[in-house]
């Protein structure tokens, strides 16, 4: 039986500290990373706000510098600052110590090569894992560690892409979820003279349940915060700031599905004929918006590394992922919380329409449910049971990224294995109205009930957005 390391996921490295990832793991990873990609120059490293991250980054820096790498330490930062650093001509790769939105007892690594080139399990991570299991040691050599601030350089890029005059739409509520967003967003807000009010601003400790900005409890917190003032919109980021969600002036969460539609429209109006990357958990509105504005659709598997690969392969102008990752061609094809919120501000502009007006047509044409996380005892058996129940009646069955089933009556659903958590994501959408979706959706849950491995009420979040 092939040995594996549990922290290796399909698109990054993530696990419990110190059980799955500790300083010894990081040392072995550094040796294998440099060896696998034959790196000899400079590597940028950063970290998130977790209690373990400073020690893990220190172990990473010391190991890299002991095997001939000149380490550029960018310190406490949003992950996207690592992506930005990787695009600098002097940098060969970037590694950010972060477990993203996972709870504080997690640790992880997000890695890219030069110019934001992603690394997946099939393209690099599995080889690194094999080297670690084989106790690979890279030859010793003299390197260095230098602290460098890339924030001002990144701000220059943002100022070249956005004009302060187009971002003046009124008061903005910002929620950092005690992650690293404020380390960059505060500088951006000051530079663009944006009237912002912060909630959960300081890095760490983040909420007990983690820093997923779509978590219902955290969404309710944000709505309560926004009720205390007058805001045009609200913005919340996850722990490492590469996911961005938007709230309207009443503190209601704007479904990312419809926000992606708005950003597709904007980017294709700016760059007609461009390629748009999207994950396929929900797809009808996305593909219709791409077709309406003469874009080129590029489906991708769910996950930031897969999306980045597609962005690079197709020189795409924008990519939208249902998990609230937004990818930008003018940000090296990488996901960015900073580009995301500034782009939304740009959409609103001076006294422009509100967000609900902007998405009203999309909502009228296609309705969806919130994404529902399922803990299943036997995922393969559950998928087989669903396939057996629906394939004979289905209009279309797709196995591109999990299981997607389109049914008569203009409704569909998808089951997708999470790339970062031990859950399956279930999504529904319909063209024909909410009634059929609610009625038929409950039958899908009935099929899955035999495989439920927790006591949560799946139907609790089963409503129409």
* Cβ–Cβ < 8 Å for 148, 171: no
Alpha carbon dihedral 145, 151, 156, 161, in 10-degree steps, equals: 120
Name the more confident of 351 and 234: 234
pLDDT value of residue 1: 47
Nearest-CA neighbor of 460 among 448, 434, 443, 442? Answer: 442
Q: Does the structural domain 13-149 have CATH classification 3.40.120.10?
A: yes
Q: Which of 445, 454, 458 is nearest to 373 (CA)?
A: 458
CA distance 465 to 462: 9
Q: Is 100 among the catalytic positions?
A: yes
Mean pLDDT confidence for 144-150: 97
Q: Does domain 151-364 have CATH number 3.40.120.10?
A: yes
Write down the pLDDT at residue 462. 81
- pLDDT at position 459: 78
**What are the structural domain ranges in the chain?**
13-149, 151-364, 367-461
The sign one gets for the Cα dihedral 378, 382, 385, 391 is: negative
Using pLDDT thresholds of 50, 70 and 90, give the confidence band for residue 424: very high
Query: In this predicted structure, what is the pLDDT of residue 352?
Result: 66
What integer is the mean pLDDT of 56-83?
98
CB neighbourhood size of 165 (10 A): 9
Q: In angstroms, rounded to a whole number, what is the distance separating the alpha carbons of residues 349 and 345?
A: 6
Give the gyration radius of the chain's Cα atoms: 22
pLDDT band of 137, cuts 50, 70, 90 = very high
Element housing 245 (H / E): strand 244-247
| Distance, CA of 184 to chain centre | 17
Structure-block tokens of residue 420 = 């970062």
β-strand partners of 110: 96
Does residue 236 surpass a pLDDT of 80?
yes
- Distance between CA 40 and CA 47 in Å, rounded? 22
Structure tokens at 273: 């004929």
- Asked whether 433 and 367 are in contact (CB, 8 A), the reply is yes
pLDDT (average), residues 204-225: 95
Interatomic CA distance for residues 195 and 120, integer angstroms: 39
At 2 the pLDDT is 59
Same fold, 13-149 and 151-364: yes
Catalytically annotated residue among 100, 283, 323, 324:
100
Output the six-digit token pair for 407.
Answer: 């049914």
What was the pLDDT predicted at 14? 96
The answer to whether the bond into 374 is cis (omega within 30° of 0) is no
Question: What are the pLDDT digits (tens) for 428-463?
Answer: 999 977 888 989 999 999 999 999 988 888 777 788
Q: What is the pLDDT of residue 4?
A: 85
Residues of the chain above pLDDT 90, percent: 89
Pairing of strands 172-175, 144-147: unpaired
Supply 430's token pair: 């319909």
377-409 residues labelled b (16+ CB within 10 A) or e (exposed): eebeebbeebbebbeeebeeebeebbbbbbbee
CATH number of the structural domain 367-461: 3.30.310.50
- Mean pLDDT over 158-175 rounds to 94
């Amino acid at each position: 039986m092939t040995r594996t390391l549990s922290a290796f996921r399909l698109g990054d490295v993530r696990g419990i500290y110190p059980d799955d990832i500790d300083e010894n793991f990081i040392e072995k990873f550094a040796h294998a990373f440099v060896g696998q990609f034959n790196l000899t120059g400079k590597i940028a490293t950063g970290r998130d706000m977790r209690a373990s991250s400073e020690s893990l980054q220190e172990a990473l820096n010391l190991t890299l510098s002991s095997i001939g790498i000149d380490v550029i330490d960018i310190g406490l930062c949003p992950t996207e600052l690592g992506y930005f650093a990787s695009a600098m001509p002097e940098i060969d790769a970037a590694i950010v110590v972060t477990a993203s939105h996972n709870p504080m007892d997690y640790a992880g690594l997000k890695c890219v090569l030069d110019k934001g080139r992603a690394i997946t399990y099939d393209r690099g991570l599995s080889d690194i894992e094999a080297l670690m299991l084989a106790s690979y040691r890279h030859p010793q050599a003299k390197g260095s560690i230098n602290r460098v601030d890339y924030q001002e350089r990144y701000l220059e890029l943002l100022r070249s892409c956005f004009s302060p005059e187009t971002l003046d739409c009124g008061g903005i509520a910002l929620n950092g979820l005690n992650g690293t967003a404020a380390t960059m967003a505060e500088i951006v807000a000051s530079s663009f003279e944006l009237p912002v009010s912060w909630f959960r601003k300081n890095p760490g400790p983040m909420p007990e349940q983690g820093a997923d900005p779509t978590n219902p409890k955290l969404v309710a917190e944000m709505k309560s915060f926004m009720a205390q003032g007058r805001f045009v919109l609200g913005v919340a980021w996850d722990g490492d700031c590469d996911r961005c969600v938007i709230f309207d002036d009443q503190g209601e969460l704007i479904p990312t599905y419809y926000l992606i539609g708005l950003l597709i429209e904007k980017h294709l109006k700016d760059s007609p004929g461009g390629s748009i990357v999207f994950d396929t958990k929900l797809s009808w509105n996305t593909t219709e918006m791409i077709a309406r504005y003469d874009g080129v659709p590029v489906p991708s598997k769910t996950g930031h590394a897969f999306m980045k690969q597609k962005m690079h392969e197709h020189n795409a102008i924008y990519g939208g992922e249902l998990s609230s990752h937004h990818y930008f061609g003018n940000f090296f094809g990488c996901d960015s919380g900073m580009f995301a919120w500034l782009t939304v501000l740009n959409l609103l502009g001076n006294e422009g329409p509100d967000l609900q007006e902007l998405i009203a047509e999309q909502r009228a044409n296609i309705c969806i449910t919130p994404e529902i996380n399922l803990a299943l005892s036997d995922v393969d058996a559950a998928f087989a049971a669903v396939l057996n129940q629906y394939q004979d009646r289905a209009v279309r069955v797709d196995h591109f990224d999990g299981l997607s089933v389109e049914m008569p009556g203009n409704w569909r659903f998808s089951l997708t294995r999470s790339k970062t958590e031990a859950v399956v994501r279930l999504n529904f959408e319909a063209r024909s109205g909410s009634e059929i979706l609610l009625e038929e959706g409950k039958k899908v849950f009935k099929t899955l009930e035999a495989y439920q491995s927790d006591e949560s009420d799946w139907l609790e979040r089963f409503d129409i957005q």
